[in-house]
Amino acid sequence: MPTKDETIARVYDDFAGHGDLLDTYRKAKKLDPTITMKDVANWRERNLDKKKQLHGYNSFVASAPREEYQLDMWFMRDNPDLDDYKLPALIMVDIFTKMTFAVAIDNKNSESVEKGVRQMMTWMKGTPETLYTDDEAAFSALNMRNYYEEHNIRHIITRTHAPVAERQIRTFKDMIFKRLDRTGSKDWRSEQFLYNIALVYNGMRQHRTTGITPMDATKPQNEATVKNHLELHRVLKRKYPKLNVGDRVRIYTKKKEYAKERYGVWSEKTEVYRVIDKRRDHGQWFYYTDYRHEPFMRHELLKVAGE
């Protein structure tokens, strides 16, 4: 007598199969009345690749100021009327307090990035335990790795985006546009101009998540309030299939700038890798694969069925 898995596979692989969970369950149960919906769900989990993964990822909530900063590079390409709109800038945000600073840099090379990072760290009045960035090459260059080691900074690289920093970029751009409109200027890159934008944001803008200004969020007496507000707003609804050592995965890849919507964000089906280790650090799981030495976060891996 065939096993439950063999019966479910037979139904699913039949010419009239390849249906949804309920359809497969109904057909399999006709052949084996002991089969349950859970049996079918478990079989699909083990044997069928997921085509999509939930957008975004669950929030990480820092416990105190300077536990994690996010760093990102940005441009003003959406407003070509501005001076030097193609030149880069950096933004840095403390994900606990939302304290944010921005600085223009001359180019994307690592020396310019290091100069900008050092300046913003000075304004932040301290370095973080963790710096979270995307995979921009300059953020991982030798001089930057030396800087992280010098200041005992754990550098986490994501293949997606630094989400808090991305939101701050949109906020700062809006403030920059409004300020330039009032003054009639097109020069957005001076250090003093961007520093003044940051002073207004940090000292006068109440953040919608924390309920207070970033400056007030740095005060020790407000830490518990900030932590409670962050916990209330954190995202925990995204559920991913459990990953274990030995599981097969595909890797998140950024779409090319003009890629069609139908092109996926995962490595090709022929580019499948193994999870070789997983470790929990600072309240988060990190997964090591045979693709690269650096770890991945869960949302960057798509579990692939089969052995």
110 and 164 in a single domain? The answer is yes
Instruction: Give domain status of residue 37, yes or no.
Output: yes
Q: Measure the CA–CA gap between 196 and 229, rounded to whole angstroms.
A: 27
Looking only at the bridges linking them, the beta strands covering 273-281 and 248-251 are antiparallel
30 and 174 in a single domain? The answer is no
Instruction: Give domain status of residue 143, yes or no.
Output: yes
131 and 27 in a single domain? The answer is no
138 and 181 in a single domain? The answer is yes
Q: Measure the CA–CA gap between 244 and 255, rounded to whole angstroms.
A: 27
Categorize the per-residue pLDDT at 17 as very low, low, confident or very high, splitting at 50, 70 and 90: very low
186 and 79 in a single domain? The answer is yes
Residue 110 per-residue DSSP state: H
Tell me which of 77 and 73 has the higher pLDDT: 73
Instruction: Give domain status of residue 57, yes or no.
Output: no
- Element spanning 215, H or E: helix 214-217
Burial class (CB in 10 A: 0-12, 13-18, 19+), 235: exposed
Instruction: Give domain status of residue 238, yes or no.
Output: no
Radius of gyration of the chain (CA): 24
Q: Measure the CA–CA gap between 269 and 246, rounded to whole angstroms.
A: 17
Residue identified by tokens 């961007």 is 194
Three-class SS state of 209: coil
**C-alpha distances in angstroms, 207 versus 121, 162, 211, 224?**
21, 18, 5, 16
Instruction: Give domain status of residue 56, yes or no.
Output: no
Backbone angles phi, psi at 228, to 5 degrees: -60, -45
186 and 147 in a single domain? The answer is yes
Indicate whether 282 pLDDT > 80.
Answer: no
> How wide is the angle at C-alpha 108 spanned by C-alphas 104 and 114, nearest 5°?
70
84 and 204 in a single domain? The answer is yes
120 and 149 in a single domain? The answer is yes
Count structural domains, the chain: 3
Instruction: Give domain status of residue 52, yes or no.
Output: no
Residue 24 CB contacts under 8 Å (≥ 6 apart), including other chains: 8, 11, 12, 17, 40, 44
User: At residue 153, what is the residue type?
Assistant: I
Distance of CA 131 to the CA centre of its chain: 12
Residue 137, pLDDT score: 92
Token pair of 69, please?
A: 């900063």
31 and 76 in a single domain? The answer is no
User: What's the pTM value of the predicted model, to 2 decimals?
Assistant: 0.70
256 and 227 in a single domain? The answer is no
Instruction: Give domain status of residue 243, yes or no.
Output: no
Q: What mean pLDDT value characterizes the chain?
A: 84
Q: Measure the CA–CA gap between 250 and 303, rounded to whole angstroms.
A: 7
Categorize the per-residue pLDDT at 175 as very low, low, confident or very high, splitting at 50, 70 and 90: very high
CATH of the domain at 105: 3.30.420.10
Q: What is the pLDDT of residues 195-246, one digit of tens each?
A: 999 999 999 999 988 999 999 999 999 999 999 988 887 765 567 788 889 8
Instruction: Give domain status of residue 23, yes or no.
Output: yes
Indicate whether 259 pLDDT > 60.
Answer: no
Domain boundary residue among 199, 233, 267?
233
Q: Which domain holds residue 9?
A: 4-47
